Structure 1
Amino acid sequence: MSIFETIRTWARRIKRDAMTLWFAYRNPATPLFVKLLCVFVVGYALSPVDLIPDFIPVLGYLDDALLLPGLIWLAIRLLPAGIVQESRLRADAWMAERRAKPKSYTGAAVIVIVWLAVAYAAWAWLGR
């Protein structure tokens, strides 16, 4: 398998696991803390806005390459195995049926709010 095929497979798995977390969030048996983590990760994964914009050299892609996969890995590890299995099956079926990448405008709004809060905090701190 070439390096490009490996990367493509890895990217598909990340996308599927993000959808897995969405279905796990909707499962009533998922613990509350893990539900909150799932909402955050899915919102961030599907947001058209990144926490660290891609135009910032090196750091811009660091969140896509390390932060997001790490958060997905953590959320999957915290979920009970039965919920992960059921949610993965639902995610695979959803992706096979729709063939389109979902977007979360709520996730984008959260990222924008985080940026505004950081900007305000920096302004307040530097303004003293």
Structure 2
Amino acid sequence: MDDIKYGEILMPGDEEAQERQEKTVRSKFWPTLRKAARYIPFSRDVVAAFYCALDPQTPTRVRGILLAALGYFVMPIDIIPDFFAVIGYSDDVAVLTLAFGMVKGHIRQEHYDAADRALANEHEAAKTA
């Protein structure tokens, strides 16, 4: 995958595209994260990015980039299908890493705090299941 392809994936899109992307991310994020957590070495950052993307105080362009990256992450069919276990998530990791670099400084401590709470709740729910 070359830089041009990354740029195409991470296009913030217009308001309508962002709304569609947000709906998809909201509905598919947690189930996808549960399946991918052991293959994504920075799950906490991914969850913080999720909260940053949903934060109305986050600038529109940043929200768009994060929603595009998270949308790519939650889609089951991408450059390398995720059912290929470890290697299947390598393209998702690359897209997320690039997005994080593009929005550096916008994922704030409050997003990480929300991520920590959510991950703790997920961990507790898994123990009782």
TM-score, length of structure 2 as denominator length: 0.51
Q: Does 1:51 align with 2:98?
A: no
Counterpart position of 1:110:
none
Q: Does 1:37 align with 2:65?
A: yes
Correspondence 1:1-128 to 2 at 5 A:
11-13=40-42, 15-47=43-75, 49-52=76-79, 53=81, 64-65=89-90, 67-79=91-103, 81=105, 83-99=107-123
Structure 2 unpaired stretches of 5+:
1-36
Change (3 A) 1:55 1:89: closer
Whether the aligned pair in 2 keeps the contact of 1:16 and 1:88 (CA below 8 Å) is yes
Task: Determine the C-alpha separation between the residues in 2 that align with 1:25 and 1:55.
Answer: 26
Task: Determine the C-alpha separation between the residues in 2 that align with 1:82 and 1:91.
Answer: 15
Task: Determine the C-alpha separation between the residues in 2 that align with 1:12 and 1:55.
Answer: 17
Structure number with greater Rg is 1
Structure 1 unpaired stretches of 5+:
1-7, 102-128
Query: After TM superposition, which residue ranges in structure 1, 4 or more long, deviate above 6 angstroms?
Result: none
CA-based RMSD of the aligned residues comes to: 3.2
Percent of pairs with identical residues: 24
Task: Determine the C-alpha separation between the residues in 2 that align with 1:87 and 1:36.
Answer: 16
Deviation at 1:12, TM superposition (A): 4.2
Name the aligned partner's letter for residue 30 of structure 1. Answer: T
Whether the aligned pair in 2 keeps the contact of 1:24 and 1:35 (CA below 8 Å) is yes
TM-score, length of structure 1 as denominator length: 0.51
Matched residue SS, 1:34: helix
Deviation at 1:85, TM superposition (A): 2.5
Task: Determine the C-alpha separation between the residues in 2 that align with 1:87 and 1:37.
Answer: 16
Task: Determine the C-alpha separation between the residues in 1 that align with 2:46 and 2:83.
Answer: 24
Count of residue pairs the alignment pairs up: 88
